[in-house]
Amino acid sequence: MADRSEPRRRGRPRGAKSGDTKARILDAATAEFSEHGYEATSMRAIARRAGVDPSLVHHYFDDKQGLVAEVVSVPLRPDRVVQEALEAPIDELGERLVRAVLGAWDSGPVRPAAIAALRSAVGQGPVARMLREFLRREIMHRIASALGPAEDAELRAELAASQLVGVIMVRYVLAFEPVASIDVEELVRRVGPAVQWHLTGRPGTLDTVASQANNSTHDE
């Protein structure tokens, strides 16, 4: 009879091939994300379910965010795309975010998988829940944190993201012209200021500007 007190060997199970081990980790991650969501799933839980040491999960996947990208088959790390944009000065953040996000979506290998992931995120079921938690945690919270101690930082981040998601839907999912074929830099020039206003503008500013414009028209 085998000694049940014998500690589990570190690394891959004996006789397992590298590809088999990675696939088993992905299956375990998919199951954990589906049952518990993104935030409640840990790398240790995934390793335990896959029957491997946690260090092996990190060997194949840098972090939990990388696992999500593999699970939904998107050759893109949206958290890294956003993080690079967040390294810009705060007054350039709007344009940098638009340029980074649309530049990534314009990539041929990325677009089909990204569209499929977006459709999953707005759907129902455990995968949709996992993707929404991932986007909120790794993108919305990152943007909100970059805004400093503003009381409405979360709201500002979500409103800015709504602008980006709207452009993505019109350009890549619905493929409405002329937005579908317009140059990215033209979109950056037009959408960037709106995203920037949501991030750093003062509520009521646009109403004031519109009122001044109307008064100026009536005075002529």
Q: What CATH number does domain 18-71 carry, 3.10.180.10, 3.90.25.10, 1.10.10.60, 1.10.3720.10?
A: 1.10.10.60
Assign domain 78-203 to its CATH architecture: Orthogonal Bundle (1.10)
Segment 168-178, tens digit of pLDDT: 999 998 999 99
d(CA 22, CA 19): 5
First-to-final CA distance of the chain: 98
Residue type, 147: L
Confidence of residue 206 (pLDDT cuts 50, 70, 90): low
Determine which of 10-24, 57-71, 203-217 has the lowest per-residue pLDDT on average.
203-217
pTM of the model: 0.66
Which part of the chain is CATH 1.10.357.10? 78-203
Is the pLDDT assigned to residue 32 strictly greater than 70? Answer: yes
Q: How many CB atoms lie within 10 A of CB 68?
A: 25
d(CA 98, CA 177): 19
Residue 38 or residue 99, greater confidence: 99
Which part of the chain is CATH 1.10.10.60? 18-71
Residue type, 54: P
* Mean pLDDT confidence for 179-185: 95
Confidence of residue 17 (pLDDT cuts 50, 70, 90): low
* Mean pLDDT confidence for 32-60: 87
Confidence of residue 9 (pLDDT cuts 50, 70, 90): very low
Contact residues for 68 (Cβ-Cβ < 8 A; gap 6+): 33, 38, 130, 131, 134
